[in-house]
């Protein structure tokens, strides 16, 4: 983590923190601590702030359903972007298949929090042709499959 350097007399600053992919639970108190550390390694807590996530806030901007978007650009050479959306925490896999149904590459294979994601796919080692990419999401809601077609032109 890079250090924050003060400018001028260091009389004021504004900090923002984003929880990223953390799974926040409604009606739960969260605490954030801002501290400073000098060059000698001495640490001082400057502030402790709390925030309570209210019911409904967590899902306000979350997708309502599983979705696999069309890659762009398409056709592509050799890179493209694949976007997908998850309404709930899921074990996610995105795999690429050739026209014969053989898996040629696994792009994503991890647990993800509910949200919107994009992944860059580099097909430099593949030959020109039509490929399929599939989202496999395993969650408490069951298994969701979505498949799209993309064209690699070299």
CA distance 113 to 18: 14
- The total number of structural domains in the chain stands at 2
Asked if 135 and 115 sit in the same domain, the reply is yes
Task: Give pLDDT, residue 136.
Answer: 98
Asked if 49 and 86 sit in the same domain, the reply is no
CB burial of 32-66 (b: ≥16 within 10 Å; e: otherwise) equals eeeeeeeeeeeeeeeeeeeeeeeeeebeeeeeeeb
Which of 36, 60, 84 terminates a domain? The answer is 60
Task: Give pLDDT, residue 94.
Answer: 98
Asked if 34 and 6 sit in the same domain, the reply is yes
Asked if 100 and 115 sit in the same domain, the reply is yes
Q: What is the pTM of this model?
A: 0.63
Asked if 18 and 84 sit in the same domain, the reply is no
Asked if 1 and 52 sit in the same domain, the reply is yes
> Which residue range(s) make up the domain with 100?
67-152
Task: Give pLDDT, residue 20.
Answer: 58
Task: Give pLDDT, residue 67.
Answer: 96
Give yes or no for a contact between 151 and 74, defined as CB atoms under 8 angstroms apart.
yes
Asked if 30 and 9 sit in the same domain, the reply is yes
Task: Give pLDDT, residue 31.
Answer: 74
In the chain (154 residues long), the average pLDDT of successive 10-residue segments reads: 48 58 62 78 78 54 90 96 94 98 97 92 97 97 97 97
Which of 23, 45, 60 terminates a domain? The answer is 60
Task: Give pLDDT, residue 49.
Answer: 72
Task: Give pLDDT, residue 151.
Answer: 98
Asked if 19 and 56 sit in the same domain, the reply is yes
Asked if 80 and 147 sit in the same domain, the reply is yes
CA distance 114 to 87: 5
């Amino acid at each position: 983590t890079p250090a924050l350097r003060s400018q001028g007399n260091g009389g004021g600053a504004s900090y923002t923190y984003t929880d990223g992919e953390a799974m926040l639970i409604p009606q739960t108190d969260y605490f954030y601590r801002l501290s400073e550390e000098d060059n000698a390694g001495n640490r001082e807590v400057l502030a402790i702030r709390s925030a309570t996530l209210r019911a409904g806030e967590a899902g306000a901007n979350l997708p309502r359903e599983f979705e696999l978007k069309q890659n762009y650009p398409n056709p592509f050479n050799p890179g493209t972007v694949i976007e997908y959306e998850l309404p709930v925490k899921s074990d996610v896999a995105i795999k690429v298949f050739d026209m014969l149904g053989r898996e040629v590459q696994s792009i994503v294979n991890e647990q993800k929090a509910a949200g919107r994601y994009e992944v860059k796919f580099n097909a430099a080692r593949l030959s020109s042709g039509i490929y399929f990419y599939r989202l496999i999401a395993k969650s408490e809601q069951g298994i969701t499959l979505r498949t799209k077609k993309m064209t690699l032109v070299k």
